[in-house]
Every structure is written in structure tokens, then in C-alpha cells.
Amino acid sequence: MTTASARLLELALPLVKTHGFTREALSLSVLSLPTPLAHPLPDASVTALFGQGDDARRVLVNAWLDDARYKMKAESSPTTALGDILKARLTSNEPVLQHLPEAFALLASSSPVLPLDPTPVLKHAADVANQACWIAHSDARELSWYTRRASVSAIYLAAELHQLTSPRTASAFLDSLLENASHAEKALDETTLFATYVWKSWKGIIKSSGVVF
């Protein structure tokens, strides 16, 4: 990606709140330049800079997720509790919460002829868990810690799903999952089963977004 594209992508992020993860948000980004253009980018220019069709929207989704993860790190410290780190990440979803089902639908449906692919959504949760665990336990190396990351990934995925359906109780729901995990750390195979169950629930949310039919 060129420097110009990266800059416009950065300027498009605040527009997601009002315009969603759309090509329009990318087009309007040029109006936020220090010396703004007189008109939004034409669609052909959006394609040239960010890709065709929904590919450009996926670029915006991934940029937003990367930015939210960066802010999670910037606003935390090694003394911040894991639960608080994850809650802060959930909080960053709030301004764009109504657009997230569609965003994850875009990630999971890169091909119109293939079934929904859970990999991008699961990778997102794993990236959040990895970042959160490194912040809270940056000196950990033991195998149990890597198992813990898998557990945190599944927990965060479930909490984010809960947030989409019940935003006000997401924080308490996250606390309950973390508390249960701390009392008896889940085995990796149980975590995998839990993640599979959560993904099935995610599929319902994604399909209801209207992107996947």
C-alpha cells in the first residue's frame, strides 16, 4: 500500500461511525486532508487505491481492527489487568457497533461461491487475545500461557458476540467468563469446542447482516 493510500485509510477510520465500512467512507476521506479536495474520490479511484467492490471494504475493516488493537496497547500498561484490557477493547467497538455484523460478514465471505470462512473472525479474536496477554503478562513463556491465550481468544469472541446482542451486559458477561476460566483453566480441546460453538452463533449474526444470503 502506498503512503497516500495509507493516509486516506487513516482518515477514513473516523468516518466508519457515520458511514460504516463502505466505499463511501473511503471516498469521503479526501475531504479530511489538511488541504481537502473539492469533491470525494470517484469510485474508480477508490478501486485503484483499495481494490474492487467489497475488497476495498475489507481493507477498511482490517484497518479499523488494527487501529483498535493498537489503541488497546497504547492505552494499557503491564499493570493493567487482563479483564480491563479486554473491556477497553470492547469499549472501542461501541461507536461502530451497529456496523460490526456487516464488517465480520465481509471478512467471512471473501468468496461468493464458498461457505462462510471462520478464519478471519477467529484470527481477529486470536490477535486481540495475543495482544492482551502480552500486555498483561509480557514476560510469560511457559506452555500453559499459550494455552491461556487460546482460552482468552474464545472468551473474547464470545464476549464480542454477546456485545452485539446485548451491549449493556457485555462487560459483566466478560467478567463471568474470565472468572470461570481462572477458577479452572479450560483444557485446549474444551476451548476449541467452545470456540466452535461461538462461531456457530457468529454465523447467525453474520447472515442476519444481509451481506450473506
Q: How far is CA 169 from CA 29, 90, 177, in A?
A: 34, 11, 12
**Do residues 93 and 68 touch, judged by C-beta distance below 8 A?**
yes
pLDDT of residue 78: 80
d(CA 9, CA 3): 10
Give the count of domains, the chain.
1
Residues 6 or more apart from 34 whose CB is under 8 A from it? none
Read off the pLDDT of each residue in 157-163 and give the average, rounded to a whole number.
89
Residue 39 inside a domain? The answer is no
d(CA 202, CA 197): 9
Compute how many other C-beta atoms are within 10 angstroms of the C-beta atom of residue 24: 18
Rounded to whole angstroms, the Cα distance separating 4 from 8 reads 6
Taking the C-alpha atoms of residue 105 and residue 203, their distance in angstroms, rounded to an integer, is: 8
Q: Is residue 38 part of a domain?
A: no
Q: Is the pLDDT of residue 175 over 90?
A: yes
Q: What pLDDT shows up at residue 139?
A: 59
Contacts of 58 (CB under 8 A, 6+ apart): 51, 106, 107, 110
Predicted pLDDT at 207: 67
| Mean of the per-residue pLDDT values of the chain | 85
DSSP code for 187: P
How does pLDDT run across 34-66, given as a tens digit for each residue? 998 889 999 999 999 999 999 999 999 999 999
Whether 60 is in a domain gets the answer no
Dihedral sign for Cα atoms in the order 30, 32, 38, 43:
positive
Domain that holds residue 109: 77-208
Q: What pLDDT, in 10s, does the model give residues 96-153?
A: 999 998 898 888 887 665 677 888 888 999 999 999 988 887 655 555 666 778 888 8
15 in any annotated domain: no
Question: Does residue 187 have a pLDDT over 50?
Answer: no
| Residue 161, pLDDT score | 87
- On whether residue 36 sits in a domain, the answer given is no
Task: Give me 11's grid cell.
Answer: 482518515
Q: Is residue 5 part of a domain?
A: no
* Residue 62 lies inside a defined structural domain of this protein: no
Contact 54, 41 (CB under 8 A): no
Quote the CA–CA distance of 53 and 177 in Å, as a whole number.
38
Checking if the pLDDT of 29 tops 70, the result is yes
119 lies in a domain?
yes
Grid coordinates of 70? 493498537
